[in-house]
Chains A and B, each alone.
Chain A
Amino acid sequence: MRGLVKTYRTGRGAKAAEVRANDGISLDVRRGEVFGLLGPNGAGKSTLVRQLTGLLRPDEGSIDVLGHDLVRHPERAPRLLGYLGQESTALDELTVALAAETTGRLRGLPARRARAERDAVLAELGLEPLADRPVGRLSGGQRRLACFGAALVGERPLLVLDEPTTGMDPVARRAVWAAVDRRRAEHGTTVLLVTHNVIEAETVLDRVAVVHGGRVLACDTPGRLKALVDGRVRLELVWRTDAPPDVPVLAAAAGRARVSGRRWTLRTTPEEARELVAAVTSGPAFAALDDFTLATPTLEDAYLDLGAAQGADREGGQAG
């Protein structure tokens, strides 16, 4: 079964300046998937999410969520999805417990259900000790967790979470991902996650779309995105002062290295890396070398590669 959840084709032209925050984005998210939108600040992730949640109407394109056309019926979005935005101002002056309960009531739950779900969610997230504290007086991570709790009260088949774990400690993060996993296992909940945290994306997401400049640069599993960097490795060389001028292998590599101060970062084939390492660990180059590291590619490399390919029109390393 092919459980298509949503498709966007959006081109968003805003105001007179014609800023295209989303420039023809198309994505399919499958049911029961934890899907990530990864991209730098200003990439258009939040614009995309605001259209999905019915807060913004796309200028063009279509949004289909669980069989509902949300461009024609944006008012259905709140009945299909739970949304965790980046701001907590609406809940700041409520206690954690009342924020969760009120949100449940406003999601249409009867009073008793809202109270029961409130208690269950607070217990699940370990928020009980904070239940009577105002949301606005908690630390950043705790506040985020309290808002996440409110987003969970009143079950929805789709959760849209905009950077849910910002500022959280590892315990809170684990509570968030455990809660997400539980809902996915028990109810087949689909999760759309906005993040610019690459490390988190690598561990929790089933699939990820890299968004940059309002476009989707790539969309695949974290593993396959890493493969986009072609099995190339990352070599970092740190010089004591300057790179030695008269080592031929280095001279050839210098043009392709990303240079930041004394540090060179090179993405290259394992063979060339071996050659370079041999060259810099002997002779005059070794004298000039402060440190070096050799690593297999991470999602961050894929992400940076994709961004760089887009930005500087450099010859990219995308495998067809």
Chain B
Amino acid sequence: MTASAEATAPAATPGRPAPAPLAPAARLLPALAAVYRAQLSRARVARMPLLFVATFQSLGILVMMRGVVDSGGNDSARAVVAGSSVLVVAFVALNLLAQYFGRLRATGGLDHYATLPVPPAAVVLGAAGAYASFTLPGTLVTAAVGAGLFGLPWAHLWILLAVVPLAGAALSGLGAVCGLLAPRQEIATLLGQLGMSAALLLGVLPASRMPEAVRLLRDLLPSTYGVEAFARTFDAAPDWAAVGADLAVCAAVGLLSLTAATRAYRRAAVSGR
């Protein structure tokens, strides 16, 4: 140690070099784009078979329900087609994303992101966005096949371009929260499965046939609003205001759940607080 005056308590460090300059942190949008791109490529690399399972499951439900529901413009047919289409979103964005984040957390994969200067929102939104994107082809196929099977008009299927991202935001936010907060990987998987089962049971059947208590539960599920918005567009003259209101609920829930997911990520990534 060099000679130093005793009185200088905080040691003005004359012999020490100046602090090293900090490298720039990644900005939100470029980082989000990088995460999104990397996540999308995972689908190609891992050829996630579950993406196909998601679509097959919904197509299976359509065929099965065709046995008990008449075709034509009745409520039940609309509910089945809209419900099984949005189910693809629930399967991938909620269930698979919960599993992905659960695995990442359990295996220490989050450390990789936590030791990079990335805004937490970039990681969460990038992954959520990619998972929501994975669902688009499956949803479109399911909706087109369903409309054909149940004799519903194809005219307004474009609404899925709004339903998928908005319901996707709400459900992937929930999925990410489940995956990031679950104390164990198995619990993350369980929560994801439960969420998807709820979307299946409460989304595919028409609300008018449900008991009051179940209907309340259904109203609590964000996917319901995506289903309703889509189902309304099968009307000859859709009530666009109601469609917009349903989508607004999805957007609001999406905003909330993605914010919660970002906080959950921050908590999970830096376990020492």
Interface on A for B, CB 8 Å cutoff?
A: 1-4, 31, 50-51, 53-57, 66-68, 74-81, 83, 85-91, 93-95, 98-99, 101-103, 105-108, 110-111, 134, 154-157
Contacts and interface: CB of A to CB of B under 8 A. Distances in A.
Interface in B41-67: 41-42, 45-46
B205 interface: no
A55 B271 contact: yes
Contacts of B107: 87, 89
B213 to A, nearest CB: 41
A66 B115 contact: no
Interface string B230-273: 00000000000000000000000000000000000000011111
B10 interface: no
Interface stretch (B25-33, B76-84, B214-222): B25-33
A105 B24 CA distance: 11
A95 B116 contact: no
Contact of B24 (A75, A79, A83): A79
A230 to B, nearest CB: 29
Contacts of B108: 85-87, 89
Contacts of B110: 90
Nearest to A87: B108
B198 interface: no
Interface string B105-123: 0011111111111100010
Nearest to A76: B22
Contact of A102 (B15, B37, B117, B270): B37
Contacts of B20: 66-68, 80, 157
B45 A106 contact: no
A105 B30 contact: yes
Contacts of B271: 55-56
Which A-B residue pairs are the 6 nearest by beta carbons?
Answer: A67-B19, A89-B109, A66-B20, A90-B112, A105-B34, A56-B272
Nearest to B16: A4
Contacts of A154: 23
A118 to B, nearest CB: 12
Nearest to A103: B116
Chain A CB within 10 A, most for which of B27, B31, B34, B273: B34
B45 A67 contact: no
Nearest to B24: A108
B19 A66 contact: yes
B246 to A, nearest CB: 35
A108 B112 contact: no
B31 A55 contact: no
Interface in B92-114: 103-104, 107-114
A302 B14 CA distance: 38
Contacts of A155: 23
B37 to A, nearest CB: 7
B38 interface: yes
Contacts of B22: 68, 76, 79-80
B211 interface: no
- Give the interface size class of chain B: 35 or more
B41 to A, nearest CB: 6
Contact of B35 (A68, A76, A102, A157): A102
B41 A105 contact: no
Interface of B: 2, 15-20, 22-27, 30-31, 34-35, 37-38, 41-42, 45-46, 103-104, 107-118, 122, 269-273
A67 B45 CA distance: 42
B27 to A, nearest CB: 8
Nearest to B270: A55
B16 A89 contact: no
Contacts of A94: 38, 41-42, 45
A55 B116 contact: no
A87 B110 CA distance: 9
A106 B26 contact: yes
Contacts of A86: 108
A79 B117 contact: yes
Given A67-B16, A79-B23, A80-B22, A54 B38 contact: no
B23 A134 contact: no
Contacts of B270: 54-57, 74
A80 B37 CA distance: 26
Contact of B38 (A53, A89, A98): A98
Contacts of A95: 41, 45
B197 to A, nearest CB: 26
25 contacts: A54-B270, A55-B269, A56-B271, A68-B19, A68-B20, A77-B115, A79-B22, A80-B22, A80-B23, A83-B111, A83-B115, A85-B108, A85-B115, A88-B109, A89-B109, A90-B104, A90-B110, A91-B112, A93-B45, A102-B37, A106-B31, A106-B35, A108-B23, A154-B23, A156-B23
Given A1-B17, A102-B38, A108-B117, A134 B45 contact: yes
B18 A67 contact: yes
A67 B2 CA distance: 18
Contacts of A88: 109
B273 A57 contact: yes
A2 B23 contact: no
B109 A90 contact: yes
A100 B115 CA distance: 15
Nearest to A73: B22
A79 B25 contact: yes
Contacts of A93: 42, 45-46
Nearest to B115: A83
